[in-house]
Amino acid sequence: MRPSLLCCLLLYLSSSLLAGLVVSPCPKGCCCPSPGALVLCESLGLHTLPRSVPLSTAILSVARNRLCNVDNVFQPYSGLQELSLSHNQLVRFPRGLPSSLETLQLQENQITYIMAGSLRQLGNLTRLDLEDNRIRAIQPGALQGLTRLRMLTLKGNRLSRLPPNLPSSLIHLDVSANCISTLDLSSLGALVNLQVLKINSNCLRSIPERAFDGLSRLRSVELANNQWVCECDILYLYRWLLTDRLRMATDLVCTAPLHLAQKLLLTLSVMAICPKLFKPVERKSTSVNTESGKVVESHIEQTISAYMLVRSDTACNASSFRCRESSKLPESTISRSFFGSDQPTLERLSYEDCLSLNLTSFIPQSTQAPYSLATDEEASCVENSTGKPPGASATVTSTGSMTPTRDTELTPRTILQSSDPALIAILAVLCVLTGLLMLTVLLVLKDILLRNLRVAPLPQVQGDISTHS
């Protein structure tokens, strides 16, 4: 009897020990509403990852700590799907991350470069957030292997150009608040699935020809707070915005030339933007000059026709710039996450919310990373910009109606500059009538004053008359 009891006791202890190894307790200070699935270790001043984090964790957040090097630390977590390393002290992109990752958040760190081999093993990544780092350059091919990447955020860095070789799977690209001065056609042309583009608060002066022609699914563009030069080079953007895209960027403000500074781009005429288009073309006997003249003429005709078409369309509702029905992005493609719409993820669950959750287990149901189309607070260009133009906003959406704020107050200068002869005649008549009215009033007042002087006797004369009587 005793040996059998001893064997049973050993079996029980070994099973308990094995169960303890499989399901580790929650690390000290962390929140684990579902051990082995969701672990939040935020704002704990950590310099290293706690050893007691279960290897079966699917969602892990170690945000707002003091981590400066996590190379190969997360490699044993083969089932990790969401990882947040935001608000730490990382100076380079982490190495040795598990290939199962679908969401990676690295915002508010000190990363300066993205090397070509840093993301090679992250083929399942659908969302990458690198907002507010110090990234100056991304090597060619560094993002090319991310064939499932749908959302890329590079807001608030120091990029001077778009990253090369962007994956064609991108739906949402945010490169706002950088120092981008030119757009690379090869980088944009591959983004055939792009729906949201945020490139506001940069140093763009114009948009190259055919830059957006291949982006057939583009629904929302943010272009405000750039250094737009309203000259001939901006005519492509001008025509593109006037062609059924009035709600996308009605608040683009010119910074040059001087006589057009602080004016809204879409309130200008083609002649004001590019006067040389309307100069007579010199015709010569050579066939080469004749063909070039035809090209210039056809270009002028296209520009004028596009301008007049949209001007006539906007006449139906000039105050709101809404003459067409807005196209809405499907909600299911915006708010989905691979934990379902009712389950917490790093996108929705904060550390404080975690403490109030019940200890219920949940299993990942989909492989779609969450992303949001919310408009972020815009920042001005750090190095090359000359400041934000007053009154310029950066909100550009296709789902909500947008009414641009315009100054419609008529000043005397603007009235006198009008070319309407009827208005000038009316003003002249009003001036004459006003002068006659003032003269009549003065004459009446003078007559009344004289009558009062004649009727009222002097006090001294009245006293003499009383004494004689």
For 335, counting Cβ atoms within 10 Å of its Cβ (0-12 exposed, 13-18 middle, 19+ buried), the class is middle
Q: What SS3 class is residue 12?
A: helix
Give the span between the Cα atoms of 85 and 89, in whole angstroms.
Answer: 9
User: Among residues 366, 374, 376, 371, which one has the least CA distance to residue 333?
Assistant: 371
Side chain identity at residue 262, one-letter code: Q
Question: Two tokens at 41?
Answer: 């270790």
- Residue 355: its pLDDT value, please? 67
| DSSP string for 69-86 | --TTTSTT-TT--EEE--
Taking the model in full, what pTM does it have? 0.61
Give the span between the Cα atoms of 279 and 427, in whole angstroms.
Answer: 35
- Residue 74: its pLDDT value, please? 95
Per-residue buried b or exposed e for 362-397, using 16+ beta carbons within 10 Å of the residue's own CB: bebeeebbbbebebbebbebeeebeebbeebbbebb
Total Cβ atoms within 10 A of residue 168: 13
Give the span between the Cα atoms of 326 and 201, in whole angstroms.
Answer: 25
Contact of 207 with 231, CB cutoff 8 Å = no
Angle at 445 between CA 443 and CA 447, to 5 degrees: 70
Place of tokens 């270009």: 299
Give the span between the Cα atoms of 333 and 183, in whole angstroms.
Answer: 27
Place of tokens 């006449």: 315
- Cα 409 to chain centroid, rounded: 30
User: Among residues 227, 184, 174, which one has the least CA distance to residue 384?
Assistant: 227
Over its length of 469 residues, how does the chain's per-residue pLDDT go in tens digits? Answer: 454 444 444 444 444 444 444 455 788 889 988 767 899 999 999 999 998 899 999 999 999 999 999 999 999 999 999 999 999 999 999 999 999 999 999 999 999 999 988 898 999 999 999 999 999 999 998 998 999 999 999 999 999 999 989 999 999 999 999 999 999 888 898 999 999 999 999 999 999 999 999 899 999 999 999 999 999 999 999 999 888 665 666 689 999 999 999 999 989 999 999 998 886 655 444 444 444 445 444 555 555 555 444 444 433 333 333 333 333 344 334 334 334 445 556 766 666 777 666 444 444 444 444 444 443 443 444 444 434 444 444 444 444 444 444 444 444 444 444 446 788 889 889 999 999 999 999 999 988 988 888 765 555 545 554 555 4
Strands 151-153 and 172-174: parallel
What residue ranges do the domains of the chain occupy?
Answer: 36-219+327-387
Side chain identity at residue 245, one-letter code: R
**Residues with Cβ within 8 Å of residue 10, at least 6 apart in sequence:** none
36-219+327-387: CATH number: 3.80.10.10
- Residue 119: its pLDDT value, please? 92
343 — alpha (psi -120 to 50), left (phi > 0) or beta?
A: beta
- Residue 354: its pLDDT value, please? 73
Angle at 425 between CA 423 and CA 429, to 5 degrees: 120
Contact of 261 with 231, CB cutoff 8 Å = no
